Amino acid sequence: MNTSNISSRSASAGLFAAIVASLCCITPVFSLLAGIGGIAATFSWMEPFRPYLIALTIGVLGFAWYQKLRSRTAEEIACACEDNEKPSFWHSKRFLGIVTVFAAFMLAFPTYSHIFYSNGGSPQLSFVAAQDTTKTYKIILEIEGMTCAGCENHIEYEVGLLDGIKSVDASYATGSAIVEYQVSKIKEKTIIETIDKTGYTVLQKPKDQ
């Protein structure tokens, strides 16, 4: 098998690994854009494997670049198929470069996922809170299924759309969300049901206030 075929297959394998590694972070955004909230946490079980998949992606793409850039042996140079045929786009450095950039884009997704949530979460809600003196109540909800910043943004966005919400601060690191709301406008049960509909799971039982 010639080096072009090896590097092409390695590039494909690296791209696949990058996509799989990012599924747990990308799914919440896809569910929001498609209006299918229940699938948001579908791939959260993959989060423990994400570091290994990232390492696999880097290793496979690194090997592909090595195969593409290394000096050819005398036998490879002497091979007519190597000398006489121009490599196709799929075997070219351009294709490998595109795959590498896309893989990096996928792996870095959690760092810029917030741009897909138009209201920006809590900051906008905090401005409202400063002008409203209605009695509020603050709760801390333990949430299962959050794996990255994209999950935080998804929960903050959906809960922030509810009438009566003052602020929302979700954290995948602690697996919880702090929600401040107006008791006269919304019940804790409604907040919990909204989070559950996104595909994540609130571990506390809803209260009927």
Residue 87 lies in a domain: yes
Q: What is the pLDDT of residues 87-132, one digit of tens each?
A: 677 778 888 899 899 888 888 877 777 777 665 444 444 444 445 5
Q: How confident is the model at residue 54 (pLDDT cuts 50, 70, 90)?
A: confident
Q: How high is the pLDDT of residue 124?
A: 44
Question: Is 71's pLDDT higher than 90?
Answer: no
Residue 178 lies in a domain: yes
Structural domains in the chain (count): 2
Q: How high is the pLDDT of residue 128?
A: 46
Q: What is the pLDDT of residues 135-181, one digit of tens each?
A: 899 999 999 988 888 888 889 988 999 999 999 999 999 999 999 99
pTM tops 0.75, yes or no: no
State the average pLDDT for the chain: 78
Question: Is 23's pLDDT higher than 50?
Answer: yes
Instruction: Among 49, 80, 107, identify where a domain stops.
Output: 107
* One domain, residues 69 and 126: no
Q: How high is the pLDDT of residue 32?
A: 63
Helices (H), 70-148: 74-78, 80-84, 93-107, 109-112, 122-131
* One domain, residues 82 and 152: no
Instruction: Among 84, 107, 130, identify where a domain stops.
Output: 107
Q: How high is the pLDDT of residue 68?
A: 82
Distances (CA, A) of 98 to 3, 9, 67, 92, 102: 18, 14, 16, 10, 6
| Domain, as residue range, for 102 | 3-107
Q: How confident is the model at residue 37 (pLDDT cuts 50, 70, 90)?
A: low
* One domain, residues 120 and 83: no
Close Cβ partners of 99 (under 8 Å, ≥ 6 residues apart) = 11, 12, 14, 15, 61
